[in-house]
Amino acid sequence: MTKIKPVNERELVLGILMEVTEKGQYSHLVIRDVLGKYQYLDKKERAFITRVTEGTLEHMIELDYILDQFSKVKVKKMKPVIRNILRSAVYQLKYMDTVPDSAVCNEAVKLAVKKGFSGLRGFVNGVLRSTSAGLGQVRYPSDPVEGLSVRYSMPVWILKLWLQSYDRQTVETMLEEFQKEKPLTVRVRPSLENIGEGGGRPPRGTGAEAVWPEVLKLQKELEGEGIRLEPHPYLPYACYLSGQDYLGDLQSFREGRFSVQDVSSMLVCEMAAPKPGDVVIDVCAAPGGKAVHMAEMLRGTGSVEARDLTAYKTGLIQENIDRSGLSNIQARQMDARVLDAASAEKADIVIADLPCSGLGVLGKKTDLKYNVTEESLESLVKLQREILTAAKAYVRPGGKLVYSTCTINPSENLENVHWFLEQNPEFALRDIRESLCEELKGDVQEKGCLQLLPGIHKSDGFFLACMEKGLPQRSN
């Protein structure tokens, strides 16, 4: 008996693209909702939907440029449904060898008809047949910045911004990296018998020389489920994970024995170097990656208060706390811009992992590059400074303030640190080199800051700075 398909994958792809491109929804949320709603789809169909939607969004500037070469009606003037059908079809023509060109054209025409555009079936068919025939001869813009923009589908203003701070080679390396498929990076939790102080840990900063026994144990277990866990060179408990479909299916994940986190984020807590019993406040903590890591590093001692703005966000933190099984951490709803006088000078460590432009994680958040604007960068810097101004008050004398962002934009990073230190002479950069593996030590700036760049480093684009508040001077 032939299987009757209640939905068509391409129709679902179109629905997602319409939500994202026309209504400004976040692609990862829309994809998650659609896959959640159509759980009966098989693994191959789900993979197709994810690949085509993410790929179409990732390459959208290039796809529109190609379509404009073959269509009399420019992409901007097309009806939104037709525009998105054509975009995803050209993505399949250019990037998916497994789908025959004729099938791509036929399916696109059928979908246009199904969506009420039978009058445009000839147009859709004609544009796609000529694109399929002429794809190999497309000429990219000769202007160097325009050329990069089309080839890597990156808005021109972002490229110009980067080219002010990084050389062309570095920018191209980052652009290539954003388009690569990469395994997940995960943080392996110390086992409960090792949660007590010390716990037979390799010394800090030893990088890959010493891989944790928990990693080796988990590696063996996952191998049996067809999943690869490979040590990451920067930290003894950071790993690459590949071969998994849905993490929730893995018992080890449900039990909190590992968490998804980029290695750059793990370095935040490494740099903060907590001591047993430390009091930690994370002012922007959701979904809780760094806060839970900090609680793990405290090995059940001290306390971590993980704050975020909304009930929804603190709910996300709580889910991660529950999964971790740790009792030295709690979530709290609080606006980081507003000074919390009760916390004045209470914390040994304040983590300020702040909202930012996200320009270091464009490979993971495919539609972000179309939503960030130059104006939004300015207001983000203002917000970051406002939050830093409130957060500094919680650091006790001798304590640390760790500032981090997932961007590669200097005005949100090093420039903010310079601004902060100028305003607050009681703070100084702390030497972070001893917390880092050999591979990273040489990239530390001004002894306390590290800018990680995608493709140059084995991590997301990320910035970290560790500042220490001086002890009061003795008067005699």
Ligand X SMILES: C[S@@+](CC[C@H](N)C(=O)[O-])C[C@H]1O[C@@H](n2cnc3c(N)ncnc32)[C@H](O)[C@@H]1O
Burial class (CB within 10 angstroms; exposed 0-12, middle 13-18, buried 19+) of 270: buried
CA 414 to chain centre: 20
8 Å CB contact between 435 and 204: yes
Toward ligand X, which CB reaches closer, 171 or 292?
292
Binder to ligand X among 74, 168, 337, 418 (CB under 6 A)?
A: 337
Query: Token digits for 302?
Result: 């001290």
8 Å CB contact between 117 and 82: yes
User: Residue 440 CB, nearest distance to ligand X (Å)?
Assistant: 19
Is 290 annotated as contributing to ligand binding?
Answer: yes
CA neighbor of 279 nearest in space, from 258, 257, 264, 294: 294
The number of residues that bind ligand X (CB under 6 A) is: 16
Residues 120-149, one symbol each (x = binds ligand X by CB under 6 A, - = not), give ------------------------------
User: Residue 14 CB, nearest distance to ligand X (Å)?
Assistant: 31
Told to check if 324 binds ligand X by CB under 6 A, we report: no
8 Å CB contact between 274 and 267: no
Toward ligand X, which CB reaches closer, 89 or 347?
347
Please state whether 153 falls in left (phi above 0), alpha (psi between -120 and 50) or beta.
left
Told to check if 359 binds ligand X by CB under 6 A, we report: no
Binder to ligand X among 59, 151, 313, 392 (CB under 6 A)?
A: 313
Q: Report the amino acid identity of residue 246.
A: Y
8 Å CB contact between 108 and 128: yes
Is 5 annotated as contributing to ligand binding?
Answer: no
Toward ligand X, which CB reaches closer, 205 or 289?
289
Contacting range for ligand X; rule: CB under 6 A; set: 28-36, 54-62, 165-173, 329-337: 329-337
Contacting range for ligand X; rule: CB under 6 A; set: 80-88, 169-177, 238-246, 307-315: 307-315
Angle (CA) 26-28-30 rounded to 5° is 70
8 Å CB contact between 257 and 188: yes
Is 288 annotated as contributing to ligand binding?
Answer: yes
Told to check if 355 binds ligand X by CB under 6 A, we report: yes
* Strand (E) or helix (H) holding 16: helix 9-23
| Site for ligand X, residues 257 to 286, rule: CB under 6 A | 265, 284-286
Facing residues of 465 across strands?
403, 449
Question: In Å, how far are 340, 399, 427 from 423, measured between CA atoms?
Answer: 20, 18, 9
Binder to ligand X among 329, 336, 359, 464 (CB under 6 A)?
A: 336
Toward ligand X, which CB reaches closer, 305 or 353?
353
DSSP 301: -
User: Residue 286 CB, nearest distance to ligand X (Å)?
Assistant: 4
Toward ligand X, which CB reaches closer, 107 or 460?
460
Q: How far apart are CA 31 and CA 26, in angstroms?
A: 9
Is 340 annotated as contributing to ligand binding?
Answer: no
Question: Given 105, 406, 437, 449, which residue is catalytic?
Answer: 406
CA neighbor of 240 nearest in space, from 222, 213, 267, 256: 222
DSSP 78: S
User: Residue 355 CB, nearest distance to ligand X (Å)?
Assistant: 4
User: Residue 393 CB, nearest distance to ligand X (Å)?
Assistant: 15
449 given a catalytic annotation: no
Told to check if 461 binds ligand X by CB under 6 A, we report: no
Told to check if 85 binds ligand X by CB under 6 A, we report: no
Toward ligand X, which CB reaches closer, 206 or 389?
389
Quote the radius of gyration of the chain (alpha carbons, Å): 25
Toward ligand X, which CB reaches closer, 11 or 335?
335
Binder to ligand X among 7, 96, 309, 414 (CB under 6 A)?
A: 309
Query: Token digits for 329?
Result: 């951490």
Told to check if 308 binds ligand X by CB under 6 A, we report: yes
Residues 209-248, one symbol each (x = binds ligand X by CB under 6 A, - = not), give ----------------------------------------
Q: How far apart are CA 367 and CA 436, in angstroms?
A: 32
| Three-class SS of 418-474 | HHHHHHCCCEEECCCHHHCCHHHHCCEECCCEEEECECCECCCCEEEEEEEECCCCC
- Would you tell me which residues interact with ligand X (CB under 6 A)? 265, 284-290, 308-309, 313, 335-337, 353, 355
Binding residues for S-adenosyl-L-methionine: 284-290, 308, 335, 353
Residues annotated as catalytic are 406
Residues of each annotated binding site: 284-290, 308, 335, 353
